[in-house]
Structure 1
Amino acid sequence: MDKNSPIAPEALIEKLNNAIASTIYIYDLNEGLLSWMNHYGQATYGYTLDEIRKMGKEYQIRTVHPEDLLGLANLMDRIRDLKDGEALTLEYRLKNREGNTHWVSDRITVCSRNDKGEATAFLGVASEIDQRKAHEETLQKSIDKLNFSLSAANMGMWEWKVGSTDVTWDKRMYQIHGLKEGENIAATLLKVMAPEDLENARTKIKESLAEKKDLYLSYKIRLKNDEVHHIRCYGKIINENQMYGVAWDSTEEVMTEHQISEARAKLISATKMAALGEMSGGIAHEINNPLTVIQARSFQLLQMVDSGKVDNAKVRQAADSISRTADKIARIIKSLRSFAREGTHDPFELAPIRQIIEETLEFCRQRFYNHGIEIELSEIDPDLEIECRLIQIEQVLLNLLNNSFDAIQDLEDKWIKISVKDFEKNIEIHVTDSGRGIDPKIAEQIMMPFFTTKEVGKGTGLGLSISAGILRSHGGQLMLKKDSPHTTFVMQLPKWQKEN
């Protein structure tokens, strides 16, 4: 130290000793006892240096947590091998005079050697780390809960160093993909992942990185036993260089979704077949009437041929009548075929609103006429179109018309009105019948699956639920107009579908 320093070395050491909020001590390796401890350590643990020395080797047994004694004993052997300038750090628990336990981090270095260079004493600086340990314990509990949740959900965790092939998986990730721990992840994924999914995965990852958004990914893998499994993956960008995420085997989930889809299709088919059964009499009448016209016109032509008196004007008139009637039958058959199809996978196409409504009415007009139900159709712009799955929209409209039929067929005043409202981006098809509305309590449940107000055997309770689902798949919705004096359902649909 500089001899011109205003503070003597001993005084400076004393000031530093008093300023440092850590326990500083010297341990004599030959005696196996503490030879010195600063005031902070004595005050913190409640023992004077004389009391500590009188306890001898029992000091450690009294003050060190039993679970940490072995670690301290092993430390003594390691200290003797320390070179000058090297240090050891150990964390353990100490009890003070009142019996309160505190975590300390102890940094130890050799401070004295004998003539042979053997360590004879070491200097220790012990700092309390209770707060840090409490944070670590809380963090560990959170990690344990997370691992338990991931284990229960059979999820694996992964980490990726962006822009490299450096991918880290936990044990469950290897299990999910049917791989052995330590296998080359990137190379093996190229082999087991479906080629079409591999290209999609690359695209999704690029989008996630470019747009700084979370990654959602699904792909198929072929295990070593040739089983195909579906994997779903979620990732989050932590910083520019790291992405973390989870993955899980969703095979059962995908299969369940497939089964639900099949069951839904069967329910739709059953519902439609029930409707066809209800309308069968009207359909037969719709076809029989034009067939009668065709038969009469054909008989008229045959009579002219047999009598040898062929009137060109009458022949043309009869032929035109047969042609128009055949067209009408064709439209009825087309509607029937369309209604029998499900249409879920049909492409979206532009269709005139008037065509949708008129084709649907062709299917049920006669049935309604036979029961004295009047149908009123408002004026519709022939150029007004929507992008839709035509068959599905006709099915929804027909379902609403059938529901109206069931609701009003026993009323004295029986009518159904169909009107169209044109907005900038949407259109609305209003189906109003002469019924006096729906009870508010029933209205809250009417769109729920299997809810029905019809008698047992006359309804599945699926019509409105399925119809609402079809409109949602089009980006629209099915609504009950609650402020209408009569029962009014509204089909709201966008004019154009958003680009996928």
Structure 2
Amino acid sequence: RARAMKQERERLFIGLIVATAGLLMISIVALVFRREVSRKTRSLAESESRYRGLVDNMPGVVYRCANDENWTMEFISEGIADLTGYAASDFIMSRLRNYASVIHPDDRASVTKAVMDAIDAKVPFSIDYRVNHKDGSVRFVHENGVPLFEPNAPVRFLEGVVFDVTERRRIADLLTSQQAKLVSSARLSALGEMAGGIAHEINNPLAIINGRANQLHDMVKRGDVDAQSVSKIASSIEVTVNRISKIIRSLRHVARDMEFDPFEVIRVAAIVEDTLELCSQKLKHHAIALQIINEAPNAVIECRPVQIVQILINLINNAYDAVMERSSARAVDIVVKETNGWIEISVADTGSGIPQELREKIFLPFYTTKPVGRGTGLGLSISKSLAQDHAGELFVDSKGGRTCLILRLPVRQPLQ
């Protein structure tokens, strides 16, 4: 019995040791687990902090929002404070305000439509709109976003980034304004180059009118006034006045700024005629032969006529400068063609030609081969830009032996 009791005590002792060891192992495992959990938690927090810092330092506003009418934000980066003047925390779950409330009222419908269209088409979206800042100012923004699609379920969330493009918009507007001023300046400069010819074109008819007036005075002094002679003189004066009026009309037409005028359908021949009213006398005065070949006399074109006249004046001015370097065989040819929905107006001259290496450079802003004081270097650059604004092109024809620049424009403007 004593032996049995001893064995029982030994068994209990061993059990106690095993149990204690088990508890110790459990405690060690628990400690290790707690330490690992703590390490993972710290690592996760550090990772989240780094991610948050990275996102907050990114240009623009990064977000994740619900696909609802308020664009309720689950996450939005701190950049929203610079964009709107309100803290990011104000927008989380629409705590103090929702994102829809800062979108400009006039743009809210278009923003919603753009997002819904992207969801229907299952594609990302890219939209421009305005947001209202806390200080009352309006900011222009560009947003790139993507709907988060789930199988057999409606889109519940959107993710994306919003960029403040207000400064970029201001600079673009400034550049547009400066470009418009350059175009206007170049147009007036081109007219200035034609000024001598225009003055001569007006002075000649005025001299005719003065001569006819003197004839009438002489007839009155002699007492020899008959109806037929007076009628003939009056008709001559009327024709001459109409000639001057036409020149002045062309001059005023070209001098005014029509940058924002709508496109209109007009006869190509009328555009060429308006141009020649301002250019032909200068060429004639310097013994430059001008030949007009219109192979499409009834052709019409949709354009801003003043801008096309400006292009042609620039081309004729350049042709004039080129042929003036020659002592003989001075000629400028203008040819009008219509081919497969396109109008081509070419201006060719008998000058020395344009070297191959310069044929692209001549269209660069401020590039000129003319002597200092003759030409701004903007004529062809602006002309090319105006042609492109008409969905056309301006280029050097390298096939012929003479210098030839071709303006190629569509008969109808493409739908915007």
* TM-score category of the 2 structures, normalised to the smaller one: 0.7 to 0.9
> Which whole-Å CA distance do the structure 1 matches of 2:52 and 2:211 have between them?
83
Report the 3-state secondary structure (helix = DSSP H, G, I; strand = E; otherwise coil) of the residue aligned with 2:369.
coil
8 Å CA contact 2:72, 2:99 repeated in 1? no
Change (3 A) 1:291 1:393: same
Which residue type is aligned with residue 32 of structure 1? M
Which of 380, 389, 410 lines up with 1:473 in the alignment?
389
Q: Does 1:423 align with 2:384?
A: no
8 Å CA contact 1:233, 1:247 repeated in 2? yes
Alignment of 1:101-140 (within 5 A): none
Which residue type is aligned with residue 379 of structure 1? N
Report the 3-state secondary structure (helix = DSSP H, G, I; strand = E; otherwise coil) of the residue aligned with 2:294.
coil
Aligned-residue CA RMSD in angstroms? 3.4
TM-score (norm 1): 0.68
8 Å CA contact 2:70, 2:99 repeated in 1? no
Change (3 A) 1:91 1:145: closer
Report the 3-state secondary structure (helix = DSSP H, G, I; strand = E; otherwise coil) of the residue aligned with 1:288.
helix
> Which whole-Å CA distance do the structure 2 matches of 1:327 and 1:208 have between them?
60
Which residue type is aligned with residue 159 of structure 2? Y
Change (3 A) 1:198 1:458: farther
> Which whole-Å CA distance do the structure 2 matches of 1:405 and 1:145 have between them?
66
Aligned-pair CA distance for 1:190: 5.8
Aligned-pair CA distance for 1:476: 0.8
Aligned-pair CA distance for 1:226: 2.5
Q: Does 1:165 align with 2:70?
A: yes
8 Å CA contact 2:193, 2:317 repeated in 1? no
Match of 1:448 in 2: 364
Match of 1:294 in 2: 209
Which residue type is aligned with residue 175 of structure 2? I
8 Å CA contact 2:365, 2:378 repeated in 1? yes
> Which whole-Å CA distance do the structure 2 matches of 1:331 and 1:222 have between them?
53
Normalized per residue, which structure has more helix? 2
Match of 2:410 in 1: 494
Q: Which one is further off, 262-271 or 460-469?
A: 262-271
Deviations 1:386-429 (A, max 9, x none): 11111111101111111111111121221111112212221111
Aligned-pair CA distance for 1:74: 5.2
> Which whole-Å CA distance do the structure 1 matches of 2:213 and 2:32 have between them?
110
Change (3 A) 1:209 1:293: farther
Which of 248, 251, 256 lines up with 2:163 in the alignment?
248
> Which whole-Å CA distance do the structure 2 matches of 1:305 and 1:487 have between them?
56
> Which whole-Å CA distance do the structure 2 matches of 1:180 and 1:327 have between them?
71
Which of 34, 38, 43 lines up with 1:73 in the alignment?
34
> Which whole-Å CA distance do the structure 2 matches of 1:340 and 1:265 have between them?
13
Change (3 A) 1:326 1:161: farther
Match of 1:122 in 2: none
Change (3 A) 1:443 1:381: closer
Which of 482, 486, 494 lines up with 2:398 in the alignment?
482
TM-score (norm 2): 0.80
Alignment of 1:145-184 (within 5 A): 147=54, 151=57, 154-162=59-67, 164-168=69-73, 169-181=76-88, 182-183=90-91, 184=94
Q: Does 1:367 align with 2:285?
A: no
Alignment of 1:17-56 (within 5 A): 30-32=23-25
Alignment of 1:13-412 (within 5 A): 30-32=23-25, 72-73=33-34, 147=54, 151=57, 154-162=59-67, 164-168=69-73, 169-181=76-88, 182-183=90-91, 184=94, 192-212=102-122, 214-239=124-149, 241=155, 242-305=157-220, 307-411=222-326, 412=328
> Which whole-Å CA distance do the structure 2 matches of 1:452 and 1:145 have between them?
54
Deviations 1:219-256 (A, max 9, x none): 23342322232222233445362543322111111111
Match of 1:119 in 2: none
Which of the pair has the greater relative contact order for Cα pairs under 8 Å at 6+ separation?
Answer: 2
> Which whole-Å CA distance do the structure 2 matches of 1:186 and 1:403 have between them?
66
> Which whole-Å CA distance do the structure 2 matches of 1:280 and 1:176 have between them?
53
Deviations 1:249-291 (A, max 9, x none): 1111111112212222232233333333322211110111111
> Which whole-Å CA distance do the structure 1 matches of 2:236 and 2:278 have between them?
21
Which residue type is aligned with residue 216 of structure 1? S
Report the 3-state secondary structure (helix = DSSP H, G, I; strand = E; otherwise coil) of the residue aligned with 2:172.
helix
Structure 1 gap ranges (5+):
1-26, 35-56, 61-68, 76-89, 94-132
Deviations 1:160-210 (A, max 9, x none): 544543443332234312223224499766655444434443454455445
Which residue type is aligned with residue 368 of structure 2? T
Change (3 A) 1:233 1:422: same
> Which whole-Å CA distance do the structure 2 matches of 1:290 and 1:70 have between them?
110
Change (3 A) 1:490 1:163: farther
Aligned-pair CA distance for 1:212: 4.9
> Which whole-Å CA distance do the structure 2 matches of 1:185 and 1:422 have between them?
65
Structure 2 gap ranges (5+):
1-19
Which residue type is aligned with residue 83 of structure 2? I
Aligned-pair CA distance for 1:306: 5.1
